[in-house]
Structure formats: C-alpha cells, structure tokens
C-alpha cells in the first residue's frame, strides 16, 4: 500500500502543490504526514489491552481496533487489496463496474475504494443487514441492490452471489472481486494485518480468535501467527444460528453481521484453527456493550463475538499468556439494531 509524504511543518507551504488534494494531516513529532488520497491512510490501527473485562488469573487479551480504520472496518484493507491487484493484472479498466455480494462491511469498503478510484460500484446485500450499512454504501455513491432474506442467511448470500455472477455474464464491464474466493483477501491480512499484530504485540502470541465471514482474516493472520508459533491456539468463531463449520444447519437470520454467512468460504484454511467457538446473538451483544461501558471501545456486534471467544480462550490459557483478537468494525453502523436497545 502507498506510503504518505513526510515533510517538516515549517516547509509545508513551500512543497505542497496547491492543486493537490490533501485528505488527512497527522502530526507525528515535528513532521507532518500528508495523504494525497484517503486510501493511503488505510491500516495501522491501534492494539489495545483489555483492562476490566479480564481476570487476574486469565491470559492478557489484546484487541485490534479496526473501527478506526478508514471506512470504519477491517474490510477496507481487503477491498483495497483486491481492487489494486485487479488493476495490476489488467482485470479492470476505467469503465469497469464493480459488483460485489456482501453482508455489509466489504460493500462499504468497495464503495469507498470505488469512489476514490472513480469506478461505478454496485453492492448486492441481504435486506436483513442494518439500515446504516445500506446508507453508508449509498453515501459513497454506490448503488445498493437488496435481496430478500427469508430466514436463511446462507440461501440469501448464495442468491446475492448468483445475482452478481449473472450481472457479470450480461455485461462485460462488470468485475466481481468475489471476496469469498479471492486470494487477495488473504494477502491483505498476511502482508498487513498480521504484520501489524506481530509488530504491536512484540512478543509471544499464544492464542488468536476470529469470526468466520469470508475466512480471509483467520486464514491470513492465522498462517502468519502459526508460522511464528506452531503451538498457538487459534479459535474460529461462529454465530449460534449459522454454525455450519460445526456441522449445524442454518437456524435463521442472526445479528452478528459480517460473520456466519451460512456457507463455507473456498479460501478458508480449515486446518488453521483447532477449535470452533459458537457464540449466541445475546452473548455477542452483551459483550459488545461491555466493551463500550467497561473499556471505552464502541464497536460492532461481531466484535462482541470475537471478544466473547477471546475471553474464554484467555481463561483456558491462563496467566502469563497472550490472546489477540480483532474488533472488525465500529458501532455507528448498528444504531438500528438491538445493540443499542436499552437493557
């Protein structure tokens, strides 16, 4: 990913082209970092140690706060990687139409990338996703096509995928990144997310937990962490109503948007995890609320899923060990969901 231009505050006026669009300025010591597009600022999210939600006899739990990433979620990383790799490979051109089936955050990420790069973008989503997700996608200038979720998220996602493939068949300008099958999804996490985690923790990592959506995060991060510590314990996290990796049938529409899409993603490395942790909607929401009121971390429902699993793993591993998980997105796209219902 491109790096920002650095220059001293004093010389700033001298070297900035007045025709250049400056998106973000971050003060870093005596220097100013200037990003010429918002995409240059993707990644480098903070790692935070939980203080009040763990017990003294537990392993320490570190959470990577992706809600402060550009676009508000971890999915901007994969959207950017998939599109930039497609550009390099000549798969997309100036008149390309980006079309992607998604249950939410990947759609936001692709809409953002499409906006910056000038591509028309169409996102196909289940109508069970939060209203905020739809509005954010539209705010980035993308079109939203809703597919009815009749109570089986797996069937609905498959219908979204089929719709995207049909559009590509009918219009040669359409490019479908196919996050569930695209190896660049994994690449984004192996080359960036995982490397940031290793650098930030700067020590042994004994456990890692991640929800399964496309499988890109757990595969990419998991492979890097396991290469460094073959004894690491990695847990896959599934919603109770869509625990298909555990051999259960899809039991309706769940609230842990972004994970548990009711299918086994082709890019998922099923050998990377040693255990599957099933989390109910109620536990995910409760944990997400606790993250806000005890740790000051305002994050989405799937963050609650990941942390609920991480706390169980921390209890199992015990004092002196380190568990890492990811908070995939921000809570602001869940105002219309039970996450913000009063107790």
d(CA 88, CA 264) in angstroms, rounded, equals: 29
Q: Which helix or strand (DSSP H or E) is residue 47 part of?
A: strand 47-49
The size of the chain, in residues, is 343
Beta carbons of 225 and 194 less than 8 angstroms apart: yes
Query: In the chain, what is the straight-line distance between the N-terminal and C-terminal CA atoms, in Å?
Result: 43
Tokens of 42: 């993707």
CA of residue 53 relative to chain centroid, distance: 23
HSE-up of 211 (CA within 13 Å, CB side)? Answer: 29
HSE-up of 276 (CA within 13 Å, CB side)? Answer: 15
Q: How far is CA 302 from CA 114, 175, 181, 331, 334, in A?
A: 25, 28, 21, 10, 11
Beta carbons of 232 and 279 less than 8 angstroms apart: no
**Backbone torsions φ then ψ of 261, nearest 5 degrees:** -85, 10
Burial zone of 287 (CB within 10 Å; 0-12 exposed, 13-18 middle, 19+ buried): buried
Q: Which residues are catalytic?
A: 75, 302
Residue from 197, 200, 199 nearest 208 by CA: 197
Tokens of 314: 């921390």
């Amino acid at each position: 990913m491109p790096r920002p231009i650095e220059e001293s505050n004093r010389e700033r006026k001298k070297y900035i082209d007045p025709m250049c669009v400056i998106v973000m300025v971050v003060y870093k010591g005596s220097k100013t970092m200037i990003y010429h597009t918002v995409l240059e600022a993707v990644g480098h999210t903070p790692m935070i140690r939980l203080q009040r939600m763990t017990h003294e006899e537990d392993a320490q739990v570190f959470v990577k706060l992706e809600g402060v990433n550009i676009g508000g979620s971890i999915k901007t990383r994969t959207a950017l990687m998939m599109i930039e790799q497609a550009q390099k490979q000549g798969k997309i051109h100036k008149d390309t139409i980006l079309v992607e089936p998604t249950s939410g955050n990947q759609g936001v990420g692709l809409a953002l990338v499409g906006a910056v790069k000038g591509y028309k973008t169409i996102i196909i989503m289940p109508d069970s996703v939060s209203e905020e997700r739809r509005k954010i996608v539209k705010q980035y200038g993308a079109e939203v096509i809703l597919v009815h979720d009749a109570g089986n998220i797996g069937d609905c996602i498959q219908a979204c995928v089929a719709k995207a493939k049909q559009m590509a068949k009918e219009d040669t300008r359409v490019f479908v990144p196919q996050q569930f099958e695209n190896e660049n999804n994994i690449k984004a996490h192996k080359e960036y997310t995982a490397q940031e985690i290793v650098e930030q923790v700067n020590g042994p990592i004994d456990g890692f937990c991640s929800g399964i959506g496309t499988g890109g995060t757990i595969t990419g991060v998991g492979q890097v962490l396991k290469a460094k510590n073959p004894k690491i314990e990695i847990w896959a996290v599934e919603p109770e109503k869509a625990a298909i990796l555990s051999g259960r049938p899809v039991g309706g529409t769940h609230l842990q948007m972004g994970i548990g899409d009711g299918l086994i993603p082709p890019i998922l490395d099923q050998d990377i995890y040693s255990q599957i942790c099933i989390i109910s909607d109620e536990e995910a929401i409760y944990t997400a609320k606790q993250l806000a009121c005890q740790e000051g971390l305002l994050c989405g429902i799937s963050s609650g899923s990941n942390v609920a699993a991480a706390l169980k793993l921390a209890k199992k591993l015990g004092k002196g060990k380190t568990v890492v998980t990811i908070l995939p997105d921000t809570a602001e796209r869940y105002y219309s969901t039970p996450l913000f219902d009063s107790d």
